[in-house]
């Protein structure tokens, strides 16, 4: 590594010069200024990576960072799928309703597959979105007819929340592809 000295130069001045060169596209730095000695000590690649990361972090807003955060597992969808399946099991246990058990387990299973697909690829949310939309329509109709919040109203609210969640993701993805 070649060591050069900047007489009277500080790290702040070097950083300012590096940023100006980086924005103009001709950042040609062999190494970075050592804070203690004022000598150049880091490799060019390390400087470019550090400047690039800093500029990327400064230009992204907090909402972009939140949207780009990827959960290793889609916990929200998993909880929703479990709640739908549990609702079918509870309906069978309390009222002996086989259709409630079948529908709860069927929709819960489909939502479980959708959770897996979304966990593997966050842009693969279409199965969960479609199932949530169908479930919100069916349970919304039941809630409208019966007027009882449990269980139809609760499932309607949860399903609408999932539809809104994935609709926002769909709109965000559509705006990303346009720019």
Contacts of 151 (CB under 8 A, 6+ apart): 87, 90, 91, 139
DSSP assignment letter at 39? B
Residue 85 CB neighbour total at 10 angstroms = 19
What pLDDT sits at residue 64? 67
Q: Residue ranges of the domains in the chain?
A: 11-59, 71-178
Please tell me the distance from the alpha carbon of residue 136 to that of residue 162, in angstroms, as a whole number: 9
pTM metric for this prediction: 0.59
Please tell me the distance from the alpha carbon of residue 61 to that of residue 101, in angstroms, as a whole number: 45
Residue 134 CB neighbour total at 10 angstroms = 14
* Tokens matching residue 132: 């949530």
Block residue for tokens 């907090």: 62
**pLDDT values of the chain reduced to their tens digit, one per residue, 179 residues:** 334 444 443 445 555 555 555 555 544 444 444 444 554 555 566 667 766 766 666 666 666 666 666 557 889 999 999 999 999 999 999 999 999 999 999 999 999 999 999 988 888 899 999 999 999 999 999 999 999 898 889 999 999 999 999 999 889 888 877 76
Long-range contacts of 76-79 (CB under 8 A, 24+ apart): 76/162, 76/165, 77/111, 77/114, 77/115, 77/118, 77/119, 77/128, 77/162, 78/112, 78/115
């Amino acid at each position: 590594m070649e060591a050069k000295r900047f007489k009277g130069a500080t790290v702040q001045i070097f950083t300012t010069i590096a940023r100006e060169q980086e924005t103009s596209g001709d950042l040609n730095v062999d190494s970075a200024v050592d804070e203690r000695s004022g000598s150049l000590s880091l490799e060019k690649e390390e400087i470019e990576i550090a400047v690039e990361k800093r500029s990327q972090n400064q230009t992204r807003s907090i909402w972009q960072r939140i949207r780009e955060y990827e959960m290793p597992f889609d916990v929200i969808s998993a909880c929703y799928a479990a709640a739908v399946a549990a609702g079918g099991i509870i309906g069978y246990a309390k009222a002996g309703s086989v259709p409630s058990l079948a529908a709860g387990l069927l929709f819960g299973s489909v939502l479980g597959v959708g959770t897996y697909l979304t966990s593997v690829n966050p842009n693969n949310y279409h199965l969960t979105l479609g199932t949530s939309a169908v479930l919100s329509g069916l349970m919304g109709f039941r809630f409208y007819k019966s007027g009882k919040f449990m269980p139809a109203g609760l499932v309607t609210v949860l399903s609408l929340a999932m539809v809104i969640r994935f609709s926002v993701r769909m709109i965000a993805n559509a705006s990303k592809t346009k720019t």
